[in-house]
Amino acid sequence: MEILRNRKVVLGITGSIAAYKAVEILRKLQKAGAEVKVAMTPSASKFISTLTLQTISGYPVYLEAVPENSPEIRHTSLSSWGELFIVAPATANTISKIAHGIADTSVTNLALCFGKGIICPAMNVRMYENPVTQKNLEILKNLGYEIVEPDSGYLACREKGKGRLAEVEDILDAAFYWFIPKLLKGKRVVVTAGATREYIDPVRFLSNPSSGKMGFELAKAARGAGAEVTLITGKTQLRTPYDIKRIDVETVEEMKEAVLEATKDVDIYISAAAIGDYRPIKREEKKIKKSERKLILELERTPDILKLIGEGKRNGQIVIGFAAETDNLVENARKKIEEKNLDAIVANDVKKGIFGSDKTEISFITKKGEFLISGSKEEVSIKIVQLIYENFFKGVEQRNVWLF
């Protein structure tokens, strides 16, 4: 996550059995390039040692407001140093204190100083579902905190229900979102990703090498920019990014039905999926047995989903396509803008090995201009979101204020 590189994060840990997972959160933040300092409540130190966290973070762990051997007031100095405050795990007790301005531990002191951050609850299901806890979480949301909801499952108390600390990768996604300017706040976005499959028989199909990485990164970038995001994806091994609605499809027909339904009232449609252009006219019901004879497949065109959406878009709706080309990149891409009534197209050269790679080079082309972008798919996706904002929505005063 390039966006977390050189960021300064303060990780608050409270007295939950899930405190041991804070080590993994700390390590993943560091791996992403962030510098992390740790604060713990006295209860948290009973679950995990300060020595462990001090050794991994490389900094003293904040346990007391004013350490005996130092005049430093740690909650003010750490809140001035840090760019993001994460409480993971956050107990019901600490959530209640933060919501009501009680500052009696290092973590709650920091909360008052930061005033916002990411809260990751972890507790018994009945404690979590208690109306008091839910009201406290609502208070925190209204104050500007991001709440990473807990997962459902088997809890430490041997009950089942919602209360397990969210997956570490989801917490990392929330940190990723935190640092993206909310340029698309209030917008609804649909992104397609991955490859479709068209079956020849029950075990063979026509497809392409798309991994889905670009579409998934675009969905994350749009969610980080404040949009409500639906991700419609073909077959992929990628995990669902945090707080994004995912719809899985396989064939072009399934993709078409999902897209037509999902785009009825959205503001932006980004077609990043590698949708097959042809399918067998006939699908065999049984496996085709191999033989010495040639196997001849008769193919037909699949529906052009992007053209359907472009031609049927309502006033103010933005439709963006992708063009994977092997020659005449810009020329062919510009033709598609006109033919499919698009607002912009992202063109890339497949000869440069874009499929499955973490890096890419694209041309973002509109009717007015062209922008060349290269870098990791994460970086490029964030820049595409910025270009969408700058070219099609208000707020030009934020031009040239960006991250990479």
Q: In this structure, are residues 335 and 346 in contact, taking their beta carbons and an 8 Å threshold?
A: no
Task: Supply the pLDDT for residue 344.
Answer: 96
Euclidean distance between CA atoms 378 and 222, whole angstroms: 11
CB atoms within 10 A of CB 136: 21
CATH architecture of 2-178: 3-Layer(aba) Sandwich (3.40)
Task: Supply the pLDDT for residue 272.
Answer: 96
- In the chain, what are the helix, strand and coil shares in percent, each to the nearest 5? 35, 25, 40
Question: How deeply is 158 buried, as exposed, middle or buried, from its count of CB atoms within 10 A (0-12, 13-18, 19+)?
Answer: exposed
Cis? peptide before 150, omega within 30° of 0 = no
pLDDT for residue 270 is more than 70: yes
Euclidean distance between CA atoms 179 and 181, whole angstroms: 6
Task: Supply the pLDDT for residue 396.
Answer: 42
Tens digit of each residue's pLDDT (9 = 90 or more) over 113-133: 999 999 999 999 999 999 999
Residue that the structure tokens 């740690």 belong to: 74
C-alpha angle with apex 339: 275 to 260, nearest 5 degrees?
45
Structure tokens at 73: 């007031």
| pLDDT-based confidence at residue 353 (cuts at 50, 70, 90) | low
Continuous segment of H or E residues that includes residue 206: strand 204-206
Which one is catalytic: 157, 308, 324, 330?
157
Give the pLDDT mean for 336-352: 89
Structure tokens at 103: 């500052």
C-alpha angle with apex 270: 264 to 274, nearest 5 degrees?
115
pLDDT for residue 258 is more than 60: yes
Per-domain boundaries in the chain: 2-178, 188-398
Q: Which amino acid is at 27?
A: R
pLDDT for residue 394 is more than 70: no
Q: At what angle do helices 74-81 and 106-114 cross, to 10 degrees?
A: 50
pLDDT for residue 401 is more than 60: no
Euclidean distance between CA atoms 126 and 89, whole angstroms: 17
Task: Supply the pLDDT for residue 395.
Answer: 55
Nearest residue to 245 (alpha-carbon basis) of 267, 223, 224: 223
pLDDT for residue 404 is more than 70: no
pLDDT for residue 137 is more than 90: yes
Task: Supply the pLDDT for residue 354.
Answer: 64
Task: Supply the pLDDT for residue 356.
Answer: 66
Q: In this structure, are residues 37 and 62 in contact, taking their beta carbons and an 8 Å threshold?
A: yes
Q: Does pTM top 0.85 for this prediction? A: yes
Q: Which of 102-106, 145-149, 323-327 has the lowest mean pLDDT?
A: 323-327
Q: In this structure, are residues 283 and 299 in contact, taking their beta carbons and an 8 Å threshold?
A: no
Output DSSP code: residue 211: -
Euclidean distance between CA atoms 20 and 79, whole angstroms: 24
pLDDT for residue 64 is more than 90: no
Euclidean distance between CA atoms 366 and 360, whole angstroms: 19
Q: How far is CA 58 from CA 30, 55, 171, 215, in A?
A: 11, 5, 21, 36
pLDDT for residue 403 is more than 50: no
Q: In this structure, are residues 221 and 193 in contact, taking their beta carbons and an 8 Å threshold?
A: no
Q: Where are the beta strands (DSSP E) in 234-369?
A: 245-248, 268-271, 278-280, 299-301, 318-325, 344-349, 359-366
- Phi then psi for 99, rounded to 5 degrees? -65, -25
157 is catalytic: yes
pLDDT for residue 202 is more than 60: yes
**Mean of the per-residue pLDDT values of the chain:** 92
What percent of the chain lies above the pLDDT cut of 90?
Answer: 80
pLDDT for residue 307 is more than 50: yes
What percent of the chain lies above the pLDDT cut of 70?
Answer: 94
Euclidean distance between CA atoms 159 and 231, whole angstroms: 33
Task: Supply the pLDDT for residue 71.
Answer: 66
Task: Supply the pLDDT for residue 156.
Answer: 79
CATH 1.10.3720.10 fits 188-398, yes or no: no
Q: Which of 1-5, 49-53, 297-301, 319-323 has the lowest mean pLDDT?
A: 1-5
- DSSP letters spanning 62-95: B-SSS-TT----HHHHHHHH-SEEEEEEE-HHHH
Task: Supply the pLDDT for residue 194.
Answer: 95
Domain 2-178 shares a fold with domain 188-398: yes
